[in-house]
């Protein structure tokens, strides 16, 4: 056994002390075992072995370090009772259910547990090991994804702020224009009212004189003068218009504010049934300032069932796609001088809903088609794009809703982004209500 490089004095930790039959074979086996142990112990993820009944047989150092549970506590126990402090109510039953289920593997990205008085999050996979027809046991691999989750959230927040920042100036303008003419009109109506007051006062005096039986002749000139000075014909024609315009302006502002309010869905963290046509209409309204200079928007909305989703996040997806489309059309207009078109179409397709956002912009060149969903990939100058929009849109649509997000060339010119979402997505935590029942 000379030259066995693996034989690096690990025997003392093994059980190869009774090597009376064939010491060479035994020590080699032991060395191989120690080697494998060392190899496994270096895995930085949690690695837990279970027997076919779900009792813990292996518990690696990462499991000790991350979960804070010793092998002595865990070994021989059912996995769900191994000492991990599950945070979700009913988690033990759920884990037991995974092990009983026939599926070859189970993955959850979002398993909360408690460590040092803090809630942390595990991404966890349970894989069934099969020998022949029999279950030979299970391997649980897991990693603490708390920081990753926090970073993701921060990025998403940053991107949302960026989109909001991009829109804020436009929205301010959008609100300012109608408010400005409402103010102008109100000032005009104020002056008109003062003029009416003068006319009315003249009439009152004439009326008083008439009811006392005095002759009206002396009043006629005064009345005519008041009438003239007030420009009553003009007021009569213009005041109703000013009122109608003011109302329209106020309604425009109210609609925008309502759209923004609906758009934000403040405080909602669970999936809820949403009207996607309405969501798209709101996104269009909010993005109109980005769209209007270069494109006409058109909608072709099919009848849609309510879709169970994270409304605020799906809104963000729509807004990102519409803003990308607006930007593409604007860039193209700089070259051609012609306005473009942004078209939104929705359709129900069985248990799915498809949303198509098309533009007549410059299209996505072949060379970058595989990159546009990469985080931070952008072709836009610093300050106008961060390259996060599509990466986050895909994480939301695919990761959180089990949907799809793709794009295709839009005829000769431009791009169509297609979002599909299941009408009732697979349950995530508490079972969502079936919107079709
Ligand atoms: N509708 C579109 N038309 C043409 N190119 C697009 C379109 N949407 C996205 N792209 C391309 O994909 C890149 C990444 O988009 P995105 O992730 O939203 O980041 P950003 O808009 O900040 O650049 C864009 O820089 C652009 O090159
Ligand atoms: Mg973008």
**Calpha distance 152→147 (Å, rounded):** 8
Whether 21 is covered by a domain: the verdict is no
The answer as to whether 80 is a domain residue is yes
- How would residue 166 be classed by pLDDT, with cut points 50, 70 and 90? low
Contact 419, 317 (CB under 8 A): yes
User: Relative to the CA of 373, which ligand 1 atom is closest?
Assistant: 17
Per-residue pLDDT of 207-266, as tens digits, reads 888 899 888 888 888 888 888 888 888 989 999 999 998 998 898 888 888 887 777 766
Task: Please name the helix (run of DSSP H) or strand (run of DSSP E) that holds residue 152, with its range, or none.
Answer: helix 146-211
Q: pLDDT at position 267, please?
A: 58
Structure tokens given for 285: 């309204």
How many whole angstroms from 386 Cα to the centroid of ligand 2?
Answer: 7
In terms of domains, do 180 and 117 share one?
Answer: no
Question: Residue 319 burial by CB count (10 A; 0-12/13-18/19+): exposed, middle or buried?
Answer: buried
**Host domain of residue 78:** 43-144
Tens of pLDDT, residue by residue over 299-355, are 999 999 999 999 888 998 999 999 999 999 999 999 999 999 999 999 999 999 999
Evaluate whether 137 touches 53 at the Cβ level (below 8 Å).
Answer: no
Is the same domain home to 258 and 279?
no
In a shared domain, residues 273 and 158: no
Span 115-125, mean pLDDT? Answer: 91
If one residue of 324, 331, 381 were mutated to test the ligand 1 pocket, choosing by the most ligand atoms within 8 A of its CB, it would be 324
Which ligand 1 atom is at minimum distance from the Cα of 379?
A: 25
Choose one of 247, 263, 279: the last residue of a domain.
263
120 within 8 A of 114, measured Cβ to Cβ:
yes
Q: Quick check: is 5 in a domain?
A: no
The order of strands in the sheet holding 46-50 is 56-59, 46-50, 134-144, 118-131, 105-115
Count: domains in the chain = 3
- Indicate whether 185 belongs to any domain: yes
CA of 365 to the centre of ligand 1 (A): 11
Compute φ and ψ for 238, nearest 5 degrees: -90, -30
Closest CA to 155 of 434, 413, 375, 311: 375
Query: Tokens standing for 318?
Result: 């729509």
Boundary-marking domain end, from 238, 263, 288: 263
Determine the angle formed by the axes of helices 146-211 and 311-336, rounding to 10 degrees: 80
Is residue 296 assigned to a domain? yes
């Amino acid at each position: 056994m000379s030259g066995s490089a693996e034989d690096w004095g690990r025997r003392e930790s093994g059980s190869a002390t009774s090597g009376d039959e064939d010491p060479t074979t035994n020590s080699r086996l032991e060395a191989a075992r120690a080697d494998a142990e060392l190899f496994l112990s270096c895995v930085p993820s949690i690695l837990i072995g279970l027997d076919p009944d779900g009792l813990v047989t292996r518990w690696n150092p990462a499991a000790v370090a991350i979960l804070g549970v010793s092998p002595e506590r865990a070994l021989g126990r059912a996995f769900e009772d191994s000492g991990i402090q599950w945070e979700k109510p009913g988690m033990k039953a759920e884990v037991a259910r995974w092990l009983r289920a026939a599926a070859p593997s189970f993955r959850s990205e979002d398993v909360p547990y408690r460590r040092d008085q803090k809630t942390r999050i595990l991404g966890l996979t349970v894989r069934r090991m099969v020998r022949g027809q029999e279950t030979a046991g299970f391997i649980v691999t897991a990693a603490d994804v708390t920081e990753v989750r926090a970073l993701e959230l921060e990025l998403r927040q940053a991107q949302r702020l960026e989109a909001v920042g991009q829109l804020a100036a436009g929205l301010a303008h959008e609100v300012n224009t109608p408010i400005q003419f409402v103010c102008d009109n109100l000032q005009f109506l104020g002056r008109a009212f003062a003029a009416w007051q003068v006319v009315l006062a003249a009439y009152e005096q004439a009326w008083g004189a008439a009811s006392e039986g005095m002759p009206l002749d002396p009043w006629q000139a005064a009345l005519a003068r008041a009438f003239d000075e007030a420009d009553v014909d003009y007021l009569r024609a213009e005041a109703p218009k000013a009122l109608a315009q003011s109302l329209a302006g106020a309604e425009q502002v109210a609609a925008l504010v309502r759209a923004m309010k609906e758009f934000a869905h403040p405080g909602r963290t669970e999936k809820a049934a949403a009207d996607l046509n309405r969501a798209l209409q709101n996104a269009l309204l909010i993005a109109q300032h980005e769209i209007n200079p270069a494109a006409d928007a058109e909608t072709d909305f099919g009848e849609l069932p309510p879709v169970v989703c994270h409304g605020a996040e799906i809104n963000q997806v729509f807004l990102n796609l519409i803003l990308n489309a607006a930007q593409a059309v604007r860039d193209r207009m700089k070259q051609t001088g012609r306005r473009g078109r942004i078209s939104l179409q929705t359709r129900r397709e069985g248990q799915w809903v498809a949303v198509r956002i098309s533009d007549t912009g410059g299209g996505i060149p072949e060379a970058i088609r595989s990159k546009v969903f990469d985080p931070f990939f952008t072709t836009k100058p610093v300050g106008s794009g961060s390259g996060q929009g599509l990466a986050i849109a895909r994480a939301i649509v695919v990761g959180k809703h089990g949907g799809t997000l793709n794009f295709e060339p839009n005829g000769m010119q431009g791009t169509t982004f297609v979002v599909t979402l299941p009408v009732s997505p697979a349950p995530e935590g508490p079972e969502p209500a079936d919107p079709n029942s």
